[in-house]
């Protein structure tokens, strides 16, 4: 049988050309070069994911990505000047700020004050130097045949490398500001690695404003036993943003993630999370605010590999105009992962008749003593609630805004850090305030 495969699209050809041109100068020694070559081969074989690939059914990247932009150049002085104002949303958080422009680490715009137990660096440097931590972990945190992850491995340029040493409690959140740089449409491949060792505590904010760039970001996050990690991702993107979280969580850990998405053109946040030790408690949550033709896809693969873990997944989206939210949540409970307690919920609030929400929850359970559940709703604002508020004198638009605020507030309030919670509530209100 002949191997039948669609003709390569312009974007696929451009990505292949980008790899061929850049491979010699992409950072990393032989092992990394081999990793890149394998990953690129996988991309060559599979091409961009499309609607007949089940995991990408609702986000047909092949169709959505008409062209692939050339790799972004290193940031110039103008880009650096512009990036100073980036990340303002979290200005009140009191975080340690690390700045990346088109994915490239900019040390002069970063707070590198030393702190006991904290090591910070750039992935490009680490790869170039053959850094032991990076060599040990990169590409190995969560095995997946996902093509976006493969493409990221083939073309990864820079990103953050953070290590929190055993027992260290990092006081200030670490704010990774990913700012746009080049004026020309470019593509950016970011790979970050964060290792939080036993008993350590840290809060990470990954803050993307992609501008007009096509961004493919991947974060490998290793949470060791008894660590306490909060990971918040806020994303705005005018072009295309595909992000992959690859997380391995050890025993007795606390792991909370929150994804805040607004003002995106095409976004996919895919989360591959494995609970690899017993006794961990996790909250995987997020809010998407979509209008115009915004498309945001949240895809979860939550793997309970070991028993006695509790995970709560809650994602809400607010959809105006022709906004399109996709939620695919899959919880896998491996054999012997007994006493797993997993509850997943997704809710979409539709403010317009033209908005669309696709919810696809899945449970795959191979153990027999577990508590797992999922739920999904999609609805317009409750007329009874709106009437109640209006009957007290609150005009319709304000009543609806109050109800939307309450709807997303329920998730945002789960964030333990006051400053981050307030910043995201402000961002949500700003989005609501801009409704016409």
Where do contacts with other proteins occur on this chain (CB under 8 A)?
A: 382-385, 387-396, 398-399, 402-403, 405-407, 409-410
- Rounded to a whole number of angstroms, the minimum distance from the CB of residue 372 to other proteins is 25
Smallest distance from the beta carbon of 383 to other proteins, in angstroms? 7
Q: Write down the least CB distance from residue 281 to other proteins, Å.
A: 24
CB 221 within 8 A of CB 246: yes
When the beta carbons of 371 and 380 are compared against other proteins, the nearer one is: 380
Q: Whose Cβ is closer to other proteins: residue 366's or residue 388's?
A: 388
Q: Which is nearer to other proteins, 133 or 394 (CB)?
A: 394
> Do 214 and 189 touch, CB atoms closer than 8 A?
no
Instruction: Dihedral sign for Cα 172, 173, 174, 175, please.
Output: negative
Which sign, positive or negative, has the C-alpha torsion 388, 392, 395, 400? negative
Structure tokens, 30: 């032989």
**Residue placing its CB nearer to other proteins in the complex, 30 or 391:** 391
For other proteins, the closer CB: 11 or 349: 349
Given phi > 0 = left and psi -120 to 50 = alpha, else beta, which region is 314? beta
Q: How far is the CB of 386 from other proteins (least distance, A)?
A: 9
For the record, the structure tokens of 3 come out as 């191997």
The position carrying tokens 């660096």 is 121
Characterise 396 by phi-psi region: left (phi > 0), alpha (psi -120 to 50), beta (else).
alpha
Q: How far is the CB of 398 from other proteins (least distance, A)?
A: 6
Least Cβ distance, residue 414 to other proteins (angstroms): 12
In angstroms, rounded to a whole number, what is the distance separating the alpha carbons of residues 388 and 332?
A: 42
Of 5 and 392, nearer to other proteins (C-beta) is 392
Which pairs with CB-CB distance under 8 Å and at least 24 residues apart come from 33-36? Answer: 35/138, 35/139, 35/153, 36/153, 36/154, 36/155, 36/156
């Amino acid at each position: 049988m002949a191997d039948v495969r669609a003709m390569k699209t312009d974007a696929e050809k451009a990505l292949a050309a980008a790899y061929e041109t850049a491979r010699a100068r992409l950072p990393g020694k032989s092992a990394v070069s081999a990793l890149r070559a394998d990953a690129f081969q996988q991309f060559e074989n599979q091409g961009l994911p499309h609607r007949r690939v089940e995991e990408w059914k609702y986000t047909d990247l092949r169709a959505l990505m008409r062209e692939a932009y050339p790799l972004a150049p290193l940031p110039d002085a103008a880009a650096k000047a512009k990036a100073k104002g980036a990340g303002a949303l979290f200005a009140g958080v009191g975080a340690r700020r690390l700045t990346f422009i088109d994915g490239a680490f900019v040390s002069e715009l970063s707070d590198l004050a030393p702190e006991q137990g904290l090591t910070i660096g750039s992935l490009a440097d680490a790869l170039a130097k053959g850094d032991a931590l990076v060599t040990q972990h990169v590409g190995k945190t969560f095995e997946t045949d996902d093509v976006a992850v493969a493409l990221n491995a083939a073309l990864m340029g820079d990103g953050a490398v953070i290590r929190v040493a055993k027992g260290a409690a990092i006081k200030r959140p670490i704010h990774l500001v990913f700012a746009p740089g080049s004026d020309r449409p470019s593509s950016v491949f970011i790979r970050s690695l964060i290792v939080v060792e036993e008993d350590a505590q840290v809060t990470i904010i990954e803050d993307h404003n992609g501008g007009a760039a096509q961004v493919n970001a991947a974060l490998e996050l290793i949470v060791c036993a008894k660590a306490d990690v909060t990971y918040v991702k806020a994303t705005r993107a005018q072009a295309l943003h595909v992000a992959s979280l690859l997380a391995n969580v050890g025993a007795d850990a606390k792991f909370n993630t929150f994804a805040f998405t607004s003002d995106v053109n095409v976004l996919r946040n895919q989360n591959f999370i494995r609970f690899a030790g017993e006794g961990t408690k996790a909250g995987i949550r997020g809010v998407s605010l979509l209008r115009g033709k915004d498309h945001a896809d949240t895809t979860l693969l939550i793997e309970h590999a070991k028993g006695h873990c509790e995970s709560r997944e809650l994602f809400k989206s607010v959809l105006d105009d022709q906004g399109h939210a996709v939620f695919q949540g899959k919880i896998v409970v491996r054999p012997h992962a007994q006493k797993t307690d997993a509850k997943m919920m997704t809710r979409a609030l539709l403010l317009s008749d033209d908005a669309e929400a696709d919810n696809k929850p899945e449970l795959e359970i191979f153990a027999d003593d577990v508590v797992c559940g999922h739920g999904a709703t999609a609805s317009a604002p409750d007329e009874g609630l709106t009437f109640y508020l209006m009957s007290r004198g609150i005009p319709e638009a304000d009543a609806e805004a109050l109800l939307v605020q309450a709807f997303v507030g329920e998730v945002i309030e789960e964030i333990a850090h006051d400053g981050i919670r307030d910043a995201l509530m402000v961002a949500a209100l700003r989005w609501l305030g801009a409704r016409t």
